[in-house]
Amino acid sequence: MSGHHTPSRRAAQSKGDLRERAILDTCEALLTDKGYDAVTVGDIAQGAGITRGALYFYFGSKQEVVTALVARTVEHLWERSRSTARADVPRQAIATAMRRTVELWNEHGPVMRTAIDLSLTVPEIGNLWNQTADLFIEAIAAVLEHAGVEPGDEPKQASAMARALCWMIERNFYHASQESRESLQNTSDTCEHIWLISSGLS
């Protein structure tokens, strides 16, 4: 008997997943076009081809939609963070990390900026963003240690330096991503240079 129910559950889940993805994709496009404050639940529902009532079946508010969108985006960040930490050659690891970070900001800049803007006032987004920062700090520290920087949390040690580098990169990318892709790339090159100097590689 359970065999009869499984396919229908899977079909419903699949349909729900597609609708949820449409809601999140629409929200991201609207953040790009209008910004968080100007976007309404009605805008998101209309763009996703559903009614407001149907949207509320999946999300309770605009803030919940954006939180889910941030969660989806930071998953990509986490994947890149893990791959950075596994790299063997520090110089190559740094170049790869910066290239992938530029790609993500080019693809999802409005979502990342919205996450930063809301991180102090929306606890769920703040937690997601801080978890993401912690993973990047850990990955940066691993690269620094691999390059010969002493482990630890004192000012000249790897974890403290990684924390400063992480937040420096975040703030610089936040501003540069609003200007142009060229500005973002130039900013990335500068941050990469500072990371290399910090690692004793430049």
Q: pLDDT at position 86, please?
A: 62
Q: pLDDT at position 202, please?
A: 80
- Indicate the DSSP class of residue 60: S
The CATH class given to the 62-202 domain equals mainly alpha
Q: pLDDT at position 85, please?
A: 57
Rounded mean pLDDT, 72-77: 87
| 13 pLDDT more than 60 | no
Q: What is the CATH number of domain 1-60?
A: 1.10.10.60
Predicted confidence band at 5 (pLDDT cuts at 50, 70, 90)? very low
Beta-carbon contacts of residue 69 (< 8 Å; ≥ 6 apart): 24, 27, 28, 31, 111
Query: Would you state the structure tokens that stand for residue 18, as one six-digit string?
Result: 């597609």
Token pair 């100007």: residue: 38
Q: pLDDT at position 76, please?
A: 81
* Domain 1-60 identical in fold to domain 62-202: no
- Indicate the DSSP class of residue 122: -
For the chain, the structural domain boundaries read 1-60, 62-202
Q: How confident is the model over 149-183, as pLDDT tens digits?
A: 999 999 999 999 999 999 999 999 999 999 999 99
Q: How many CA atoms lie within 13 A of 18 on its CB side?
A: 7
- Entry pTM: 0.86
Q: How confident is the model over 114-158, as pLDDT tens digits?
A: 999 999 999 999 999 999 999 999 999 999 999 999 999 999 999
| 7 pLDDT more than 70 | no
Q: pLDDT at position 3, please?
A: 47
Cβ–Cβ under 8 Å, residues 173 and 181: no
